[in-house]
Amino acid sequence: MHKLQQVAVYYYTQILLEIKKSLSRYRLRENLNQQDFAEQINITQPELSKMETGKRPIGKTVAKRIAKAFGVNYQIFL
């Protein structure tokens, strides 16, 4: 892998980590546990956990549900 590609991958990874941190920060700010919030956005708690840890991407549909729950733009979760 070329140096430029390595740098791009690094920054992409950092951006993804920040998105995942944003999700848990919003949830915790609202004093919601994973189970309650998962039910609110119509996914399972294990799915939410994987999204918060970066093991599963947040799709557009779920991002829109999350954003609606928090009153923010869904694109911050993509």
Domain that holds residue 62: 3-77
Q: What is the CATH number of the domain that holds 34?
A: 1.10.260.40
Q: Are 39 and 66 in contact (CB under 8 A)?
A: no
Q: Which residues in 1-78 belong to E strands, given as ranges? A: none
9-55: per-residue pLDDT in tens? 877 677 666 766 789 988 999 999 999 999 999 999 999 999 998 88
Residues constituting the chain: 78
CA end-to-end distance (rounded Å), the chain: 26
pTM (two decimals): 0.76
The pLDDT assigned to 77 comes to: 85
Q: How many domains is the chain built from?
A: 1
53 backbone dihedrals φ, ψ, rounded to 5° = -100, 0
